[in-house]
Amino acid sequence: MRKAIFPGSFDPITLGHFDIVERAVLLFDEIIIAIGTNANKKYMFSLEVRKAFAVEAFKDFKNVRVITYDGLTVDLCKRQQAKYILRGLRNPADFEFEKAIAHTNRKLMEIETVFLLTSSGKSYISSSIVRDVIRNGGDYTLFVPTSVRI
Catalytic residue (one of 17, 50, 51, 87)? 17
Q: Does 149 map to a domain?
A: no
103 is catalytic: no
Catalytic residue (one of 65, 90, 99, 131)? 90
Q: Does 37 map to a domain?
A: yes
Are 101 and 20 a contacting pair, CB within 8 Å? no
Residue 26 has a pLDDT of 96
Residue 147 has a pLDDT of 96
All residue ranges of the chain with pLDDT < 70 are none
Q: Does 65 map to a domain?
A: yes
Q: Does 150 map to a domain?
A: no
DSSP-assigned beta bridge partners for residue 4? 31, 84
Are 88 and 114 a contacting pair, CB within 8 Å? no
Q: What is the CATH number of the domain that holds 94?
A: 3.40.50.620
83 is catalytic: no
Q: Does 59 map to a domain?
A: yes
Catalytic residue (one of 50, 51, 87, 127)? 127
**Total domains present in the chain:** 1
Q: Does 147 map to a domain?
A: no
Catalytic residue (one of 41, 79, 103, 135)? 41
The parent domain of residue 23 ranges over: 3-141
- Alpha carbons 123 and 70: distance in angstroms, whole number: 28
Q: Does 30 map to a domain?
A: yes
Q: Starting at the edge strand that comes first in sequence, how are the strands of the sheet with 3-8 ordered?
A: 64-69, 30-36, 3-8, 84-89, 112-117
Q: Does 55 map to a domain?
A: yes
Residue 39 has a pLDDT of 78
